[in-house]
Amino acid sequence: MADLFDNLRSKGFQVEFRSHAKAILSVDFPEAAGEIEAALLATTIPIEEIIAGGGGEAKGTQRLRRGLTALGWTKTQFIVEKRINGIPSEAQSHEVDHVKEFPDVGRVALEIEWNNKDPFYDRDLENYKRLHADGAISIGVIVTRGRSLHESMRSLVRRFLDERQIQGIDDLVEWGYEPTSRQRKGIAERMQRARNPLTFREAFTDKFVGDKFGEATTHWRKLDDRLRRGVGNPCPLVLIGLPDTIITFDEGKAALHEVERDEEAIE
């Protein structure tokens, strides 16, 4: 019998279980495991979406969210009340982006932390801890940027620049990215410095990745730091790291159409 999430691991995903989550998931929630795995295996993120999105949530992760929502993993607000002699005296609310209830078994909660500030991990883990203690959820799942994806971001961005023969700022506009004046200044400073000046591609990669995917954002090591300190304990947790293999390079400008449609819808 295949191990839980073996198909994910074979594709480079990181998977870890905490506080007996593996046993609970495999015995009580095999359907949840199957749905999560299928949704993640179908996830790809064209490199163009990362560039055009300026480091924000890529359309690929938004499609993952929509896929989970279609399977019944919906945004849910939990309100926990404390009562004295039947009178509410205190209430706390906890919102989770994706929750699915499995009748007669329990609920599984899931958060996707593609590229937030890393304190969002504290929020997610503390929410899971409280909700589990109150019997509202059985397991908490966090999907985040895995180690290979985080560490490869510079080489992925540089590959995009090399393959598309990007020579300067103007060449990026057609790919949906227009740097702010501060970003332009940062790129220029790296290129014009007296000691070890960088080429445009080197300067852009350094500035873009440093600004958008820096060490203070949500990635595997930052999540692991919290877990080592016991944040979220003892809630059973499933931790899944997105690998660099989900980034694709073969869609070209077709990948920008969805970005443009979403921007038009917002307007």
**Mean pLDDT of residues grouped by 10 in the chain (267 residues)?**
86 97 96 96 92 77 93 94 82 92 96 95 97 96 97 97 95 90 95 96 96 95 97 97 95 71 45
Q: What does the pLDDT read at residue 54? A: 65
Q: What does the pLDDT read at residue 169? A: 92
Among 4, 79, 1, smallest CA distance to 239 is for: 4
Global pTM value: 0.92
Q: What does the pLDDT read at residue 86? A: 80
Q: Sort 79 into a burial class: Cβ within 10 Å, 0-12 / 13-18 / 19+.
A: exposed
Q: What does the pLDDT read at residue 258? A: 61
Q: What does the pLDDT read at residue 84? A: 85
Q: What does the pLDDT read at residue 88? A: 78
- Please state, in angstroms and rounded to a whole number, the distance separating the CA atoms of residues 103 and 178: 49
Q: What does the pLDDT read at residue 53? A: 76
Domains of the chain: 16-266 (3.40.91.20)
- Please state, in angstroms and rounded to a whole number, the distance separating the CA atoms of residues 25 and 237: 10
Q: What does the pLDDT read at residue 267? A: 40
Helix axes 147-163, 220-228, angle to 10 degrees: 170
Q: What does the pLDDT read at residue 252? A: 80
- Residue 113: helix, strand or coil by DSSP? strand
Q: What does the pLDDT read at residue 81? A: 84
Q: What does the pLDDT read at residue 259? A: 52
